[in-house]
Structure 1
């Protein structure tokens, strides 16, 4: 399944796979959204798979938002592997 992104009450809902074949368009799409909004909330409840490239894409968008002094949040319970990687990268 391709990655589908919809917006509902200011939250962007993702459904599908965030992997090497969908990450580039995901980054391009959300770069534009970050430019247009002060606060971007990404709900990953519908994400069924995320690989290393997808995770790096989320990290890239977090850095872009930070440079632009914008808020970028990831919420939801989809694909629990993402939380382990973020927790490990926060420890230093």
Structure 2
């Protein structure tokens, strides 16, 4: 299954699987959003799977947001695991 990214202003709803094949596309979309907005919201409620490439892209974009004094909020089922991964890698 592919990844669908629905956008409404600074809100990005992800539907499908976030994998190596589409992680770079998501990175481009989120980086573009961070140029326009101070806060970006990513809804992963309808994401059925995220591989390590997807997790790494979200972590990378999160770090870029922090470096630019901007923020990313991740909402939806499974975001606690993603939150823990991001905090572990950001603290290092």
TM-score range, shorter chain: 0.7 to 0.9
Q: CA deviation at 1:28?
A: 1.1
CA RMSD, 1 decimal: 2.0
What secondary structure, in the 3-state scheme, does the structure 2 residue paired with 1:21 have?
Answer: helix
Unmatched 5+ stretches in structure 1: none
Unmatched 5+ stretches in structure 2: none
> Where do 4+ consecutive residues of structure 1 move more than 4 Å?
none
Number of paired residues? 89
> Which structure has the highest helix share of the two?
2
Cα distance in 2 between the residues matched to 1:85 and 1:47 = 12
* C-alpha distance after superposition, 1:31-58 (max 9, x if no partner): 1111111110000001011000000010
Q: State the TM-score, normalizing by the size of structure 1.
A: 0.83
- In structure 2, the residue matched to 1:17 is 17
